[in-house]
C-alpha cells in the first residue's frame, strides 16, 4: 500500500491519474472544502461520498483561500497538515490543494463524474454543477450531521477554556 502522502498530488498528476482511471471504467467523485479541523462530521461525509467503485478526490482550499473565505484567524491548521490528515483516510483517494476561493476551475480541469456537496447545498447554485452535468455527470447531496462544524468545534474549545 502506498504512503498516504502519495495521495496528495498536483493538478497535472491528478489529471493524468483521472484519465487512466476513467479508461479503466472507474467513477470519479469530487468534493471540496477547507477541512480546517477534521472532525466526525467530515469523516462521516467523506465515507458516504466514497461508495463502492468510486475514486474520491478532495479539493482542499489552500491557506490563502481559507483566509479569504473564513477570515484572518483561519485556518487553524496549515494546508500541509490538513492535506496529510485527509490523505490518511482510507475513503480518500486523492487530495489536491487549490488556491482559488471557488473550485470551479479545478472541477473543469478534473471533469468528475459525480460532484458531491452537503445536503445544505440542495436548491442552491452548486459551483461546478454545470460542468459536471454538461458531460453527463451528476450532483449528489449528502446528509450533514447537525451541529458538527469546525466553527462549533472551535467554539466548544473556547468555551471550555473560558470555564477553566
**What domains does the chain contain, in order, with CATH numbers?**
4-163 (3.40.50.620)
Which pTM was predicted? 0.91
Report pLDDT digits (tens) over 58-116: 999 999 999 999 999 999 999 999 999 999 999 999 999 999 989 999 999 999 999 99
Cα(55)–Cα(23) distance, integer angstroms: 13
Strand 27-33: give its sheet, edge to edge. 94-98, 54-61, 27-33, 114-118, 138-142
Amino acid at each position: 500500500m502506498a504512503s498516504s502522502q502519495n495521495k496528495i498530488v498536483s493538478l497535472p498528476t491528478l489529471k493524468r491519474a483521472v484519465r487512466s482511471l476513467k479508461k479503466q471504467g472507474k467513477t470519479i467523485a469530487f468534493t471540496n472544502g477547507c477541512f480546517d479541523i477534521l472532525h466526525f462530521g467530515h469523516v462521516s461525509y467523506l465515507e458516504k461520498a466514497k461508495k463502492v467503485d468510486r475514486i474520491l478526490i478532495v479539493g482542499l482550499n489552500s491557506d490563502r483561500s481559507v483566509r479569504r473565505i473564513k477570515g484572518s484567524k483561519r485556518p487553524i491548521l496549515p494546508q500541509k497538515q490538513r492535506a496529510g490528515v485527509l490523505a490518511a483516510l482510507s475513503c480518500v483517494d486523492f487530495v489536491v490543494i487549490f488556491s482559488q476561493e471557488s473550485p470551479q476551475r479545478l472541477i473543469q480541469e478534473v471533469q468528475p463524474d459525480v460532484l458531491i456537496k452537503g445536503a445544505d447545498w440542495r436548491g442552491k447554485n452548486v459551483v461546478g454543477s454545470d460542468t459536471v452535468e454538461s458531460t453527463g455527470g451528476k450532483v449528489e447531496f449528502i446528509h450533514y450531521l447537525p451541529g458538527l462544524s469546525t466553527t462549533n468545534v472551535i467554539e466548544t474549545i473556547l468555551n471550555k477554556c473560558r470555564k477553566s
